[in-house]
């Protein structure tokens, strides 16, 4: 079935099946297969997170955007980098657990470096304190990347730099969201970073679960490394 002929129900089935993958190997295999049609599929559900994250970063970043080093964690096909490029950012490094997703990201021509890493299974393969911006979009949700990666995002960021994270706020993800916010708060209490803003968005993307209709909500978090 081509990407063009997929119905919204077909796309929903694909996205829901992502949450059925338990092991790192299963997840990598799934995303390798999905890479070719990923952009079209997330467009079909009106996925807003990459744009919303890029807008939040742009609103809070006051440095030289063209020279800023950006780490795109769980970069996928490069949707976030494309959005940030539109805001004037120009130096991107990407990390993802899928080889095929990384190949798609490489095809954008935006990244100076791309590395394979199973997030939550392996440490981030980057130098601590190197990046002006660290961003992770879409991967922080139940059944995907564990909240234990949050301190690693902070460590990768240089003092004064920004960390941007997103998650969904639909009922299926509320327990995960609560754990995520607890992890963020713990780092704030340790004076590792400070919260610059939390944006709750009602029309995050079209619902895919059978017991949800219309659109689900989501949140963008922006922290500054101390």
Spatial CB neighbours of 42, under 8 Å, sequence gap ≥ 6: 79, 205
> 214 burial class (0-12, 13-18, 19+ CB within 10 angstroms)?
exposed
Count other Cβ atoms within 10 Å, centred on residue 183: 19
Under the banding of pLDDT at 50, 70 and 90, the label for residue 4 is very low
Spatial CB neighbours of 59, under 8 Å, sequence gap ≥ 6: none
> How far is Cα 171 from Cα 207, in angstroms, rounded to an integer?
11
β-pair type (69-73, 91-96) = parallel
Encode pLDDT of 29-42 as tens digits. Answer: 999 999 999 999 99
> How far is Cα 117 from Cα 114, in angstroms, rounded to an integer?
10
Please tell me the predicted confidence (pLDDT) of residue 3.
41
Q: What's the whole-number average pLDDT of the chain?
A: 94
Closest CA to 164 of 224, 216, 96: 224
Please tell me the predicted confidence (pLDDT) of residue 35.
97
> How far is Cα 204 from Cα 134, in angstroms, rounded to an integer?
21
Closest CA to 49 of 117, 140, 133, 124: 140
With H, G, I as helix, E, B as strand and everything else as coil, classify residue 144: coil
Q: Taking residues 201-222, what's their average pLDDT?
A: 93
Tokens of 140: 């922080």
With H, G, I as helix, E, B as strand and everything else as coil, classify residue 183: helix
> How far is Cα 187 from Cα 181, in angstroms, rounded to an integer?
10
> How far is Cα 34 from Cα 25, in angstroms, rounded to an integer?
14
> 1 burial class (0-12, 13-18, 19+ CB within 10 angstroms)?
exposed
Encode pLDDT of 95-150 as tens digits. Answer: 999 999 999 999 999 999 999 999 999 999 999 999 999 999 999 999 899 999 99
| DSSP secondary structure letters along 105-149 | HHTTT-EEEEEE--BTTB---S-TT-EEEEEE-S--STTSS-GGG
Per-residue burial over 81-100, b if 16 or more Cβ lie within 10 Å, else e, is: bbbbbeeebbbbbbbbbbeb
Stated pTM of the model: 0.95
Please tell me the predicted confidence (pLDDT) of residue 2.
42
Please tell me the predicted confidence (pLDDT) of residue 1.
37
């Amino acid at each position: 079935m081509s990407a063009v002929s997929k119905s919204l129900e077909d796309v929903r089935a694909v996205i829901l099946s992502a949450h059925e993958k338990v092991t790192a190997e299963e997840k990598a295999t799934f995303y390798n297969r999905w890479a070719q049609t990923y952009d079209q599929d997330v467009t079909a559900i009106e996925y807003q997170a990459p744009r919303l994250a890029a807008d939040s970063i742009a609103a809070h970043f006051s440095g030289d955007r063209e020279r800023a080093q950006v780490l795109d964690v769980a970069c996928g096909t490069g949707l976030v980098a494309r959005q940030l490029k539109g805001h004037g950012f120009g130096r991107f490094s990407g990390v993802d657990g899928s080889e095929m997703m990384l190949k798609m990201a490489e095809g954008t021509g935006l990244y100076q470096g791309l590395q394979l890493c199973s997030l939550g299974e392996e440490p981030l393969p980057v130098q601590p304190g190197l990046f002006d911006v660290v961003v992770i979009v879409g991967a922080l949700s139940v059944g995907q990347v564990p909240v234990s990666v949050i301190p690693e995002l902070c460590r990768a960021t240089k003092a004064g730099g920004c960390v941007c994270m997103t998650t969904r706020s639909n009922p299926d993800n509320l327990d995960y969201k609560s754990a995520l916010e607890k992890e963020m708060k713990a780092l704030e209490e340790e004076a590792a970073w400070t919260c610059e803003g939390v944006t709750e968005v009602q029309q995050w993307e079209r619902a895919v679960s059978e017991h949800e209709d219309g659109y689900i909500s989501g949140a963008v978090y922006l922290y500054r490394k101390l």
